[in-house]
Amino acid sequence: MNAIPSNNIRVGILGASGYTGSELIRLLAQHPQVTMSLLTGDRAAGKKLGAVFPHLAHLKLPTLIKVEDADWSGLDVVFCALPHGTTQEVIARLPRNLKVVDLSADFRLYDLETYATWYGHAHKAPELQKEAVYGLTEIERPAVKAARLVANPGCYPTSAQLPLIPLIEAKQIELDDIIIDAKSGMTGAGRAAKEEMLYSEVAEGIHAYGVAKHRHAPEIEQGLSKAAGRPILVNFTPHLMPMNRGILSTIYVRLANGAKAADLRATLEKRYADEPFVHVVAEGVSPATRHVRGSNRVLIGVFADRVPGRVILLCVEDNLVKGASGQAIQNMNLMTGLPETTGLMQEALFP
């Protein structure tokens, strides 16, 4: 696909009234080459953005409307931040000249049967799935550049695949003994009111959820299997933390082919040496979610386990930025011929 020949990329955001939608707006407000021309939010249709997000009230943006009332004629790029299971039919109706970044899970899984198994219904746009590119930017950069439709990765899969894929490709870890223990902030559950997400239900505690059945498992396995050239199953368990944003994935791996912890560190440092957003922290440093809050950065730590032959990988990201909206903008930049870092160089908010 050709780059958009303009320094004013006209963007529509579908689902602008949710957390990932508001994060897109926050980040794009500082993007020097973007105009936000259309915002949808079905539950908030007819409202000004400031009525939904007072912290964004000063921005001069269009009123929220329903998706079915959208006029696509003045747009170059559409971000879809709609709930899973609703995006396939919407994107199938979009004009073919629009570039699309989908932040839902609707186009992430290449295999239609796998999608149906994990999401409970048949894929509603199978022909469109064939052209979708999985947008883990640092791994799929050439394909993203040429894509019209990019399936933005899930938050957990981003934090799992970035540390693991280079090590799998280097044949430094055993493929059948990967354990991913992940913790996420509350915003990963979305903004819709849910009883189990009330403050009194989640504060002062931590709990696992989706145990042995979380929908991000096949997405992680898809990427790792592609790197390995054969199927991989992982042990993946997510946990909900009483914090607003952030993901910490603690990953346990067994060494292979005589590799040492220092070799794994060297592989990751070499792979990500020139990457603007993925960094391997110094030896002995334990990366924390507070180190990446509000930024598009990923930090990776490598520790030799006290159990012989094992290594512990730590990976942190902001689930709303690199885990969702920031990576979506990173992909949009590539798709439109802009420098990948445009509008994304915010440093982490600390403390």
Lowest mean pLDDT among 187-196, 247-256, 278-287: 187-196
227: which residues sit within 8 A by CB, 6+ positions away?
A: 164, 165, 168, 169
Q: What is the pLDDT of residue 3?
A: 52
Closest CA to 134 of 28, 236, 221, 39: 221
User: How many C-beta neighbours within 10 Å does residue 141 have?
Assistant: 15
Residue 2 has pLDDT above 60, yes or no: no
Evaluate if residue 199 carries a pLDDT over 90.
no
Q: 121 is written with which tokens?
A: 């219904």
* pTM of the complete model beyond 0.85: yes
How far apart CA 151 and CA 223 sit, in angstroms, is 13
User: pLDDT value at position 1?
Assistant: 45
State the pLDDT at residue 186: 86
In this model, does residue 189 exceed pLDDT 90? no
Would you say residue 217 has pLDDT above 70?
Answer: yes
Q: What is the mean pLDDT of the chain?
A: 95
Residue with tokens 């386990």: 305
Has residue 343 got a pLDDT over 80? yes
pLDDT at 300 over 50: yes
Which residues are known catalytic residues? 155
Beta strands per DSSP E along the chain: 9-14, 34-40, 77-80, 99-102, 133-134, 149-151, 179-184, 207-208, 235-240, 247-254, 278-280, 298-304, 310-317
CA atoms within 13 Å, Cβ hemisphere of 337: 10
Residue 248: pLDDT over 70: yes
Predicted local confidence at residue 5, as pLDDT = 44
Please state the φ and ψ torsions of residue 290, each to the nearest 5 degrees: -70, -15
258 vs 203 pLDDT, higher one:
258
The CA distance from 69 to 66, in Å, is 5
Element (H, E) at 177: none
Q: Determine the pLDDT at residue 201.
A: 81
Please report which confidence band the pLDDT of residue 351 belongs to, taking 50, 70 and 90 as the band edges: confident
d(CA 324, CA 46): 26
Mean pLDDT of 196-212: 85
Question: Which domains, and CATH codes, for the chain?
Answer: 9-153+322-335 (3.40.50.720), 156-318 (3.30.360.10)
Question: What local confidence, expressed as pLDDT, does residue 191 receive?
Answer: 64
The answer, yes or no, to whether residue 4 has pLDDT greater than 70, is no
Band of residue 221 on the pLDDT scale cut at 50, 70, 90: very high
The span from the CA of 224 to the CA of 235, in Å, is 13
Which amino acid, 66? K
Residue 295, amino acid: S
Q: Is the pLDDT of residue 194 over 90?
A: no
- The mean per-residue pLDDT over the stretch 80-104 comes to 96
Average pLDDT over residues 90-110: 97
Q: What is the pLDDT of residue 322?
A: 98
Query: Nearest CA to 81 among 94, 65, 100, 98?
Result: 100
Alpha-carbon dihedral sign for residues 31, 299, 317, 222: positive
- Longest Cα separation, the chain: 62
Beta bridge partners of 235: 179
pLDDT tens-place string over residues 9-44: 999 999 999 999 999 999 999 999 999 999 999 889
- Give the β-pairing of 235-240 and 207-208: antiparallel
pLDDT of residue 195: 72
Q: Residue 203's pLDDT band (boundaries 50, 70, 90)? A: confident
Question: Is 324 or 203 the better-scoring residue by pLDDT?
Answer: 324
- Cα 17 to Cα 52: distance, rounded to the nearest angstrom: 7
